[in-house]
């Protein structure tokens, strides 16, 4: 599998050098789903150029970070199809033509492997939304079931590729099993990624990689085709660079699924009419009370509290939130 990844990435780089139609007026780095769709609309971007960019990012960074276990050999074909559909006025939604990486616990009914072997629905759901399945995001062996004690206390280990690395601090000890998805989002290896969570596997690695992870209520997203750990806790959610991107992906994947009817039938009635994007408002924090536990953002060198923490608290207050600091826990 690792050799196949290297071959496919090499071919992607050759294709890029040979003239993959990149739009240089579009700012690829840190692109959001909204900016991607705007680029599609104004003609400064194509799905094909976007896939070329992310494949190049993977080929450049993955040998160090190990965030991606496999790329989709059909990704460029899917991108070309999305471009052709858009030229005729067809657009499935916010994810149409957007490259997405999927955690390797989720099967996709295509040429991609799923490490523990399972049939799936979720990949089909994303394709109906128009997304380009770029490949599979890496994860610790058996989703962290290999004890951290057996790997010297290190999380994020996988025998196929070696340990996954935080793109900001290579020596950082990662947590949770959606590490590859979080690393890929942080390192601009895809426009959006999907993770799964039984217990902290979306929220913890997302926070340690400075990206946005949403753990949906169990049953809001189907678990059909996902290698299971706990029917009472398993859920699938987005991991992206911005809140807005995470909401776009969440809206595409929630809903009733007959193959996971026990969970999704009861949960789907709580999906708000009009979807989740209606709540993406600049004044959304107005009137909200936000509590911050004492010492939660304290680190040895003080950098986080002095710079990042203070800046974010100030921004929340500017947008109308009441921030209560130093709560005792």
User: Exposed, middle or buried, 240 (CB in 10 Å: 0-12/13-18/19+)?
Assistant: buried
Q: How far apart are CA 7 and CA 282, in angstroms?
A: 45
Handedness of CA 276, 118, 258, 111 (dihedral sign): positive
3-state secondary structure at position 93: coil
Neighbours of 283 (CB within 10 A): 8
Is 136 among the catalytic positions? no
Handedness of CA 174, 237, 70, 86 (dihedral sign): negative
Q: How far apart are CA 240 and CA 186, in angstroms?
A: 8
Is 177 among the catalytic positions? yes
Q: How far is CA 32 from CA 54, 76, 246, in A?
A: 13, 20, 10
Neighbours of 174 (CB within 10 A): 25
Which among 59, 103, 222, 224 is annotated as catalytic?
Answer: 103
Which among 181, 201, 222, 224 is annotated as catalytic?
Answer: 201
Neighbours of 269 (CB within 10 A): 9
Phi, psi (degrees; rounded to nearest 5) at 127: -70, -35
Identify how many contiguous H helices and E strands the chain contains and give both numbers. 11, 8
User: Exposed, middle or buried, 171 (CB in 10 Å: 0-12/13-18/19+)?
Assistant: exposed
Is 103 among the catalytic positions? yes
Q: How far apart are CA 132 and CA 144, in angstroms?
A: 28
List of residues 6+ apart from 199 with CB closer than 8 A: 233
Q: By C-alpha distance, which of 308, 300, 72 is closest to 190?
A: 72
Which among 35, 177, 178, 181 is annotated as catalytic?
Answer: 177
Q: Which residues are catalytically annotated?
A: 103, 177, 201
């Amino acid at each position: 599998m690792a050799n196949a990844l290297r071959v496919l990435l090499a071919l992607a780089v050759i294709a890029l050098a040979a003239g993959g139609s990149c739009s240089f007026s579009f700012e690829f780095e840190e692109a959001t789903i909204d900016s991607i769709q705007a680029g599609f609309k104004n003609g400064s971007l194509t799905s094909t150029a976007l896939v070329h960019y992310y494949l190049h990012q993977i080929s450049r960074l993955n040998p160090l970070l190990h965030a991606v276990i496999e790329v989709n050999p059909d990704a460029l074909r899917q991108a070309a199809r999305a471009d052709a559909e858009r030229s005729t006025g067809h657009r499935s939604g916010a994810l149409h033509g957007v490259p997405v990486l999927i955690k390797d616990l989720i099967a996709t009914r295509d040429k991609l492997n799923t490490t523990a072997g399972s049939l799936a629905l979720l990949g089909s759901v994303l394709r109906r939304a128009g997304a380009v399945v770029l490949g599979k995001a890496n994860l610790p062996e058996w989703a962290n079931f290999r004890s951290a004690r057996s790997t010297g206390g290190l999380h994020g280990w996988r025998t196929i590729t070696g340990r996954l690395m935080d793109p900001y601090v290579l020596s950082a000890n990662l947590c949770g099993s959606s590490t590859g998805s979080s690393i890929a989002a942080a390192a601009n290896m895809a426009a959006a990624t999907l993770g799964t969570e039984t217990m902290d596997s979306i929220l913890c690695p997302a926070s340690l990689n400075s990206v946005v992870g949403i753990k949906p209520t169990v049953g809001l997203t189907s678990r059909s085709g996902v290698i299971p750990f706990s029917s009472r806790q398993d859920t699938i959610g987005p991991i992206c660079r911005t809140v807005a991107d995470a909401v776009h992906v969440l809206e595409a994947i929630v809903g009733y699924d007959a193959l996971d009817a026990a969970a999704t039938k009861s949960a789907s009635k709580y999906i708000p009419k009009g979807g989740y994007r209606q709540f993406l408002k600049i004044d959304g924090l107005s009137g909200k009370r936000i509590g911050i536990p004492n010492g939660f953002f304290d680190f040895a060198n003080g950098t986080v509290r002095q710079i990042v923490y203070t800046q974010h608290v100030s921004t929340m207050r500017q947008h109308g939130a009441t921030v209560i600091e130093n709560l005792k826990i």
